[in-house]
Amino acid sequence: MTFSPSHFTAVLLFALFASIVFGITQRSETRAQIRYGLYCFSLFVLGTIVASWLMWWIHR
């Protein structure tokens, strides 16, 4: 059995791991790392949704 995620699932996985790395490398305190990681994750997801709507609108 192979793991074959959809495009959106792949984007969410990328956003999760990139946000973890950004949080750890850009902030020194644990609380700040978590907050920054969540901030980055939300921007990744919001950016993906906005970009997908723009691509849908351009395609139409």
What the block records as the tokens of 49 is 């949704």
Q: Are the C-beta atoms of 48 and 8 separated by less than 8 Å?
A: yes
Model confidence at 2, pLDDT cuts 50, 70, 90, reads confident
At what angle are helices 30-59 and 7-26 packed, to 10 degrees?
150
- Looking at the 3D structure of the chain, how many domains does it have? 1
Would 11 be classed as within a structural domain?
A: yes
pLDDT digits (tens, 9 = 90+) for 34-49: 999 999 999 999 999 9
Q: What is the dihedral of CA 48, 49, 54, 55, to 10 degrees?
A: 60
Would 1 be classed as within a structural domain?
A: no
- How much is the mean pLDDT over the chain? 95
Would 46 be classed as within a structural domain?
A: yes
Write out the residue range of the structural domain in which residue 52 sits. Answer: 7-59
Would 2 be classed as within a structural domain?
A: no
Rounded distance, CA 20 to CA 36, Å?
9
